[in-house]
Chain A
Amino acid sequence: MLKFLTLLAREIRAYFYSPTAYIVLCFFLLLTGFAFYMDVAILSRGPTEVTIVEGFFNSVPFWIGFILIFPPITMRVFAEEFKLGTIETLMTAPVRDWQVVLAKFGGALFFYTIIWIPNFLYFVVFERIANASAANAAGAYWGSFLILMLVGMFFLSIGCLASVVTQDQIVAAVICFCVLALYFFAGLLTFFTPNVSPILRDMVSYFSTLEHMGEFSKGIVDSRRVVYYLSATAFVLTLTHQIFQFRRWKA
């Protein structure tokens, strides 16, 4: 456990050694700031049933930023170690492969969580200034936070997988972005083609992140989604672990 924490601490610190962390933070804050501003501007035109929280998490600028933050967070984790050869010193210390994989994932998750802190401040500031509630109930906050974490875990694990298959960070970032974009747009299938069969519609809604975000940001916490994201994350991380071992062994 101590070794895992040591590894985790290094992973977290590694984000702040490089300018990547600060660039991602700034870029993401700008985009979500814009999303929030747009959200407030639209909602202030007249009465509506949509709350600020709902509107924010379902706006286009938010989603663009959201998909774009994963590649820079995870591209580094394995690719850099393979490229620099530090994987060799790391894996000849008495650590287990899964400890390394989990520490890298955990570091990414920690950084991802940090990114969200300023965003939740938007709502706090809004409630103070507008003297109005940003969501219908506290559940909407918790729901939004929960779905952000769940989706984040799944997407970060995909990023880790993309990073473990190559030793080039750029390639890792491109793979990660393409997979996430494909996944995201596949979830939009029913929006583009309304006349699909109900079975397909059900299937799509099972993995459509946009739909899940809509539900959770209203405060509807559906346990199916929780199970889906947790098991998908576990599956992708297991795959990452397997490929990690395979790559070290054939090198």
Chain B
Amino acid sequence: MQGGPFRFIHFRFRVITRKCRIRASPMIKVENLTKRYAGFTAIKDLSFEVGKGEIVGFLGPNGAGKSTTMRILATSMPATSGRATVAGFDVFTQSLDVRRHLGFMPENVPLYKEMRVSEYLNYRASLKELTGRRLRERVGDVKELCALGEVENRIISGLSRGYRQRVGLADALLHSPDLLILDEPTAGLDPNQIRQVRELIRNLGRHHTILLSTHILPEVEMTCNRVIIINRGRIEAADTPENLVNAMRAAGGIRLEAKAAPGDDAPALLGAIAGVKEVCAEPAEEGWSHFTLRTEPGRDPREELWRFTRDRNWTVRELSLRRATLEDVFVELTHGDDL
């Protein structure tokens, strides 16, 4: 199929199948998924989709149902009701096919601690149906990708948290799965290691679909195309980080620190400027005041503000735009009721 006239046909064929598959089946499709444990409901009627090639961040307070959802998707346990498919296969009835298309790294990265790194990866590779040369190649590849070369002969129990995390990730990548599900891949790592893992995930995102959960929100803003925020087993929001933040303008706004001219009713005057919705004033030392201005969505009246302060002879020592962050969105949606 490589050369000659066949190449063209092969190419066309691939393009067609790809288009169809994108439209027909997303990588993950969850419909009305519910999981009840004895006494409480972990997730209620969850529905969402993850398209091919997306990196999706799964956020929520502890106990929101993130791990439960991920474990159901990874075929580690069944849902009480509802349906979920991965790569077009049902997670319950076709779990073996799902597992062939999926690399899962559970929370806390459980490993056989008495094995050596290479030995463990070889064992996992042959469980994942790799044999012979392909097995050696893949084990070599993931060791290189996850920078495990220098510890390949060490026993896992003697490795640091960062290395164990990488062994877990290497294991998840062994059979080059279409989908990676990573449950808190950066938990317990130091800032340098977090940065390394983030880089790694971003690189992996080129070839894999990734669903990851984390508590480190700036990380999500940097790595993910889309965010799903879940609270008490329900989806609170699902959108790109930018859209979520833009929808949350209320939390952002303009900060102005100025000394108003004597006799001016500062809040009223500021409120009259076009684009300013609400003014909150806080007097500070020696005649200075902090103003927090809420703006109308999509407007940035900083220029008008500057002209206004110049015309009225105010002394300004700060005029800045404060953007809402994903953290604001998260806190707002989950009401900060972290367990």
Q: Which residues of A contact B (CB under 8 A)?
A: 2-3, 6-7, 10, 14, 17-18, 84-96, 248-251
Q: Which residues of B contact A (CB under 8 A)?
A: 37-38, 71, 74-78, 96, 99-100, 102, 104, 106, 108, 110-115, 123-124, 126-129, 131, 168, 171
Distance from A239 Cβ to chain B, minimum over Cβ atoms (Å): 20
Beta-carbon contact of B110 and A88 below 8 Å: yes
The 5 listed contacts between A and B (C-beta, < 8 Å) are A10-B123, A85-B106, A86-B111, A91-B75, A248-B77
Complex contacts, A92 vs chain B, CB 8 Å: 74-76, 99, 102, 104, 106
What residue in chain A is nearest B96 (Cβ atoms)? A94
Beta-carbon contact of A251 and B77 below 8 Å: yes
Complex contacts, B74 vs chain A, CB 8 Å: 88, 92
Beta-carbon contact of A17 and B115 below 8 Å: yes
What is the bound-complex CA distance between A95 and B100, given in angstroms?
A: 10
Beta-carbon contact of B128 and A88 below 8 Å: no
Beta-carbon contact of B76 and A6 below 8 Å: no
What is the bound-complex CA distance between A78 and B100, given in angstroms?
A: 24
Given contacts A3-B129, A6-B123, A6-B127, whether A91 and B112 have CB atoms under 8 Å apart is no
Complex contacts, B128 vs chain A, CB 8 Å: 93-94
- The 7 lowest CB-CB distance pairs between A and B, nearest first, are A85-B110, A17-B114, A94-B99, A93-B127, A86-B110, A6-B126, A92-B104
What is the bound-complex CA distance between A96 and B97, given in angstroms?
A: 11
Beta-carbon contact of A88 and B126 below 8 Å: no
Distance from A6 Cβ to chain B, minimum over Cβ atoms (Å): 5
Q: Which residue in A7, A18, A89, A248 is a CB contact (below 8 Å) of B106?
A: A89
Beta-carbon contact of B127 and A7 below 8 Å: yes
Distance from B70 Cβ to chain A, minimum over Cβ atoms (Å): 10
Distance from B219 Cβ to chain A, minimum over Cβ atoms (Å): 24
Given contacts A85-B106, A86-B111, A89-B106, whether A94 and B100 have CB atoms under 8 Å apart is yes
What is the bound-complex CA distance between A14 and B119, given in angstroms?
A: 12
Distance from B14 Cβ to chain A, minimum over Cβ atoms (Å): 25
What is the bound-complex CA distance between A1 and B208, given in angstroms?
A: 29
Beta-carbon contact of B99 and A96 below 8 Å: no
What residue in chain B is nearest A5 (Cβ atoms)? B126
Beta-carbon contact of A2 and B96 below 8 Å: no
Complex contacts, A7 vs chain B, CB 8 Å: 127
Distance from B120 Cβ to chain A, minimum over Cβ atoms (Å): 10
What is the bound-complex CA distance between A251 and B131, given in angstroms?
A: 32
Distance from A241 Cβ to chain B, minimum over Cβ atoms (Å): 16
What is the bound-complex CA distance between A251 and B35, given in angstroms?
A: 11
Beta-carbon contact of A88 and B127 below 8 Å: no
